[in-house]
A and B are shown apart, each in its own frame.
Chain A
């Protein structure tokens, strides 16, 4: 069993005994076999000395137990890292930022406190997975939807605290934005409630997020000054119907008016989440004509790409639009959207079926489930070796830069990132057909998934190098990552450096004030406690 760094053996033994006194021996895990469960399955350092490995784990069942654990950790300077369900794959999994951390595993705190389908909110504990909340709603036939990420096995609270996102309307799919009130165990063990939750007997915890006075909730999202033990959420009324229509536009630069119009439609409430794509590039190795274009020392021109798309008899871009609500309202909104988009020459539409709820089994089988708030695991059915995917990896890292929500920004991001891959001598994950994800309401995330391998540290090193270079290249163009694995959190935070890292210095001041012993999630988001802080 590893001892946390800087902790004396006698103190470690005393802390473990006191953890057991609070939780019972069955909820304190120290064996190698138990502790191994908390490795980051997608670690870019797998098997290397830099891999973050934990020393032990504890699994409290109540907020009061969390408080006691934190007080013990403070007494003996034990580093803690809390997880909800620990499914943060691609962004660090359940491992902390430093080896030797004790994981506070909140999986047993899985109570749905309240769901209201007349005022549309929920209050849950961190161990509640999207599947759990969905089941709670379905079992009670509540007329309310959740907004779920893909896959759906993660924690509602944990995903929100990592600024996770989903697939429906903007106000719901930004999961931290849709939160309302927290219960938090602070680094000294004190239990604090925020928003209306701070008012004993409050009737609006899950509805009005601000309460009174300054809001501090953001400190606990991607932060390290508290362990969230309850959270309120706004929920979406279950609509009567759902329909999609895919608009296609023929030319590369049609993307610019397309995004402009779709933005207007979305921000005026006329559509749900749009999803951009291109049928031209496809997956797998490009055909010879496209490969010849892409493998040149310089990027192909718009005209060349348009000619290629035309030669394939395909429109360059497509965007799926989504509507929720009564069928008559959907029909009106869809017609309005089409009228607006027809201003782009060559725009064409393919309507999906109007789906009235509840769906038939066949409809359910065909629909994109997360778009209608149904958690699922279908994403894990891909990755199988195939002619298009001869080399399945062991996991992936997400590179997630936020770029402006414009067609111009997409085209610029393609160029910038293709240039980086070319300069680094790596096969490019970006092509002239790449589109960003639209999960964020007011910006795009130009996300890329880098494969990681457990048996090839040399390749993982190359991946880390290109990842670091991409972080810098993005920052040089005014783009910053919204979330990143622990291996890159210092690098990302270092790009948010306006006025000589003023933001980080504020974070460090808060960290020192609230967590003077630096026991909670050291290094998370690049925020280190004083005793581990390196000179910048």
Chain B
């Protein structure tokens, strides 16, 4: 059936142009930029099981003690069941290797809870899938929702 997803898919598959992801600079005032190197500061590492790079990143952080949340493209359950509740009272840092879509959502929710992108790096693309991004979202100080 034709859903909004279909319409968007149709738009996105329009053979108009090659594209690349444009990524804003990480906010220079974000705290806890050490999270990538210190998994103990992370609340969770997101693992998109569709991508080997994401799995490898999560497993590496898990071996250092980080808690891993697995998903397959759709961030809804992690957001609704877990992170939205936690961020209401505690704007904890998260990290992961994902495509743009989940990060786009998490970043905007993060803004409303006093967090920002602290680390962000495009990974070399292997194969045909979308660019993967390694990122950390960490506490900031301002512009919170609750």
Write the residues of chain A forming the contact surface with B, with a CB cutoff of 8 angstroms: 26, 29, 33-34, 36-37, 41, 57, 59, 85, 87, 107-108, 110, 127, 131, 135, 150-153, 246, 275-277, 283-285, 318-320, 368, 375-394, 396, 426-427, 429, 435, 437, 447-451, 453-456, 459
Instruction: Give 26 pairs: A residue, B residue, CB < 8 Å, sorted on A.
Output: A107-B112, A107-B145, A276-B2, A283-B9, A319-B1, A375-B76, A375-B80, A376-B74, A378-B73, A382-B9, A383-B12, A384-B101, A384-B129, A385-B130, A390-B15, A391-B15, A392-B12, A396-B11, A427-B14, A427-B15, A450-B14, A451-B12, A451-B17, A455-B19, A456-B17, A459-B17
B84 lies within 8 A of chain A by Cβ: yes
Contacts of B130 in A (CB 8 A): 383-386, 392
CB-based contact A387/B3 at 8 Å: no
Q: How far is A108 from B12 in the complex, measured between Cα atoms in Å?
A: 34
CB-based contact B2/A437 at 8 Å: yes
Contact pick for A108, options B21, B125, B145, CB 8 Å? B145
Closest 8 CB pairs of A and B: A449-B11, A381-B73, A380-B101, A275-B1, A385-B130, A384-B130, A454-B22, A277-B2
Q: How far is A36 from B102 in the complex, measured between Cα atoms in Å?
A: 20
Contacts of B73 in A (CB 8 A): 378, 381-382, 384
Kindly report which residue of chain B lies nearest to residue A438, judged by CB atoms.
B2
Contacts of A380 in B (CB 8 A): 74-75, 101-102, 104-105
Contact pick for A318, options B1, B13, B80, B128, CB 8 Å? B1
CB-based contact B75/A393 at 8 Å: no
- Residues of B in contact, count (CB < 8 Å): 53
CB-based contact B22/A383 at 8 Å: no
Q: How far is A320 from B84 in the complex, measured between Cα atoms in Å?
A: 33
CB-based contact A384/B99 at 8 Å: yes
Instruction: Flag B114-126 by CB within 8 Å of A: 1 or 0 each.
Output: 0000000000010
Contacts of B20 in A (CB 8 A): 455
Report B47 CB to chain A, min CB distance, Å.
Answer: 14
Q: Which of B19, B73, B131, B145 has the most CB of A within 10 A?
A: B19
Report B85 CB to chain A, min CB distance, Å.
Answer: 9
Given contacts A59-B143, A277-B6, A447-B7, contact A381 B75 (CB under 8 A): yes
Contact pick for A429, options B14, B79, B105, B108, CB 8 Å? B14
Contacts of B21 in A (CB 8 A): 392, 394
Q: How far is A284 from B7 in the complex, measured between Cα atoms in Å?
A: 12
Kindly report which residue of chain B lies nearest to residue A430, judged by CB atoms.
B10
Contacts of B7 in A (CB 8 A): 437, 447-449
Given contacts A379-B8, A381-B102, A386-B129, contact A435 B14 (CB under 8 A): no
8 Å CB interface, B68-109 against A: 72-76, 79-80, 84, 99-102, 104-105, 108-109
Given A57-B143, A283-B9, 15 additional A-B pairs, CB 8 A: A33-B28, A37-B143, A131-B79, A151-B105, A285-B15, A320-B1, A377-B105, A381-B74, A381-B75, A382-B12, A389-B12, A391-B15, A429-B14, A437-B7, A449-B7
Given contacts A150-B5, A383-B101, contact A283 B145 (CB under 8 A): no
Report B141 CB to chain A, min CB distance, Å.
Answer: 8
CB-based contact A394/B5 at 8 Å: no
B38 lies within 8 A of chain A by Cβ: no
Contact pick for B4, options A33, A127, A379, CB 8 Å? A379
Q: How far is A533 from B10 in the complex, measured between Cα atoms in Å?
A: 37
Report A108 CB to chain B, min CB distance, Å.
Answer: 6
CB-based contact A135/B80 at 8 Å: yes
CB-based contact B11/A448 at 8 Å: yes
CB-based contact B74/A377 at 8 Å: yes
Q: How far is A382 from B28 in the complex, measured between Cα atoms in Å?
A: 30
Contact pick for A385, options B75, B109, B131, B146, CB 8 Å? B131
